[in-house]
Structure 1
Amino acid sequence: MNNPGDLLLRWLSEEGAGDLGEVKQGLWWLGTKSCPEIGPGAPGRWLRDAVSLAYLDIDWSGRRWSAAPPVITPLPQAQGLAVLTGSRTAAFERRLEELVQDECVELYRSSAERPARDIPLPDSLVVRFGEEGELAELAADLGAVLAPCFAYQGASLLPPSALVEQTSEPEYGAPLEQYDFGESRYLPVRRPQHDGLYRLKRRDSKRVCQVLRAGSWFETTHEHGVYAVLADQNGTADVLRWLPEESCGRERIGTLFVDWGYPLPDLHRRVASMCSGLAPRINEGAMNLAYDNVPEAVAVKIAHSLGQALGDSSE
């Protein structure tokens, strides 16, 4: 097990659950040991990708994490390919290797390319199958859950974006930051000047995001807050785009591009990532993330649930 990402997933799978602050410290320690050029925020980025790929579930506000159960789910329009995700204990890995050696399963490992500043991700595990019954047998043998195609199932469950959890306004004089959409970062402000997305630290030391809308305050996550304010200020903006594949018969499958500064919420990221079983590609020049093998219908549901229209991409 030479990949630090695989080692990290093994560790978290064996632990099962824990405190988010402690796991970030562990990620940083191992990251600095194996990745000399690791940059600030690398543990957080690794955890978000792990959530997107269904390895972990995280309660960000409660500062807790848990390993997701092993799951096999078919990929959309992928000619008999399914992704094997969730936790990977030593016992699970041994059993999978036995099945591979006995030629009971055709397994592919795929590594995600990440900048040197980031901690490597675990290899994605993809299996080939002929009939659904083969996946059911494999799931039973591995102690995994066989789920219908999560990309379609998850997309159908995406809730409409709405601010519903009304809260009190920030304490007067307490440190406050407002999200600047032009710079894609929070900037300190003395007091709320106008509607927008704000970040503050409460008395219990938890950092929270709140949206000010027409004199009322709503508690939200950063990602949902970004799209709520975007819809308020600009209606639909050209931040989500979809480009179809050129292959014959694949016109309804393509790539979803998400501009930097407009991150998808956890469930939306997981739906997009589980279309391929891979983490999104990072396009430094174009300043966006690219999710592959996304059906147009899934991309449309992602955009609409965030109050956005799906644009065309020239990528």
Structure 2
Amino acid sequence: MIPYKQAQDLEDAADDIGVSYVGCAAAGIAGKLQQSLPIGPSAPPAYDSLFEQLVSFSPQRWSPASPKDLALPDGLYREQVHGRWRYTLRREGSWYAAELSHGIFAELARRGRTVIHWQPDYPDCSRAGTLVLDQGVPLPALHSRVLVLCSGFIPRFDSSAEAALYDNVPREIAERVASSLGQTLQISN
């Protein structure tokens, strides 16, 4: 344990004992987050599989669709392949592979919906606060890890607001997480 008042004190102490000071792990990982929209081209769905389109985010609701329909609208789809769901995005007639969480955020971005909010810890605070995420929307694992590293605690779940709450999240990290998911961070009071 090393007491400190500012980051420079930690850097100096680390130098004195011959170790590297790396700073905040959450900030380091957040700085490396990439835009997580459609990953790569995918084959269209098979004609004989169970096939559904995402119609609602919170709660998540899927509606049957037909892979034979040549006029399928853009959206997030899932297809059951060998008993497991495979997720694909349809964009302007092309198909793209996606993990569920990345696909949901790509679809939210396409629809212009924002589900990530940040509330400062107190009125004059612009540094740390609580990131609020609609509960029906799963975060990609790396994004969730970044937010958990800010406080060291898993998110709290507010059933009345149907939201996941990540504490002690610096605004810069909240903005980076939101932008990498195609979201515009909403600042609340």
TM-score, normalisation: structure 2: 0.82
Which SS does the other structure have where 1:303 is aligned? helix
Aligned to 1:274: 149
Contact 1:196 1:213 in 2 (8 A): yes
Contact 2:37 2:105 in 1 (8 A): no
Aligned to 2:23: 148
Where does structure 2 lack aligned partners over 5 or more consecutive residues?
A: 5-9
- The residue type equivalent to 1:256 in the other structure is L
Structure-to-structure mapping, 1:65-214, within 5 angstroms: 129-130=2-3, 132=10, 133=13, 148-192=23-67, 193-203=72-82, 205-214=83-92
Contact 1:245 1:255 in 2 (8 A): yes
Residue 307 of structure 1, aligned match among 167, 182, 189 = 182
Contact 1:184 1:261 in 2 (8 A): yes
Contact 1:175 1:188 in 2 (8 A): no
- Structure with the bigger percentage of helix: 1
Deviation at 1:191, TM superposition (A): 1.1
Name the CA shift for 1:273/1:161 in 2 (closer, same or farther; >3 Å). Answer: same
Q: Give the number of aligned pairs.
A: 176
Residue 246 of structure 1, aligned match among 113, 122, 132 = 122
Contact 1:255 1:294 in 2 (8 A): yes
Please state if 1:228 is matched with 2:106.
yes
Contact 1:211 1:217 in 2 (8 A): yes
Deviation at 1:201, TM superposition (A): 2.2
Deviation at 1:173, TM superposition (A): 2.4
**Root mean square deviation, CA, Å:** 2.5
For the residues of structure 2 that align with 1:183 and 1:305, how far apart are their CA atoms?
21
Where does structure 1 lack aligned partners over 5 or more consecutive residues?
A: 1-127, 141-145
Name the CA shift for 1:198/1:292 in 2 (closer, same or farther; >3 Å). Answer: same
Bigger Cα displacement from structure 2, 179-188 vs 271-280: 179-188
Aligned to 1:90: none
Which SS does the other structure have where 2:150 is aligned? coil
- The residue type equivalent to 2:118 in the other structure is W
Contact 1:238 1:311 in 2 (8 A): yes
Contact 1:167 1:217 in 2 (8 A): yes
Which SS does the other structure have where 1:278 is aligned? coil
The higher relative CO (CA closer than 8 Å, separation ≥ 6) is in: 2
Deviation at 1:200, TM superposition (A): 1.7
Q: Sequence identity, in percent?
A: 34
For the residues of structure 2 that align with 1:251 and 1:180, how far apart are their CA atoms?
36
Contact 1:224 1:265 in 2 (8 A): yes
Deviation at 1:312, TM superposition (A): 2.0
TM-score, normalisation: structure 1: 0.51
Q: Deviations over 1:246-266 (max 9, x none)?
A: 277x43111110012222211
Bigger Cα displacement from structure 2, 274-283 vs 239-248: 239-248
Q: Deviations over 1:164-205 (max 9, x none)?
A: 3111011002111222225532424141532111112224x4
Question: Which ranges of 4 or more aligned residues in structure 1 deviate by more than 4 Å?
Answer: 131-134
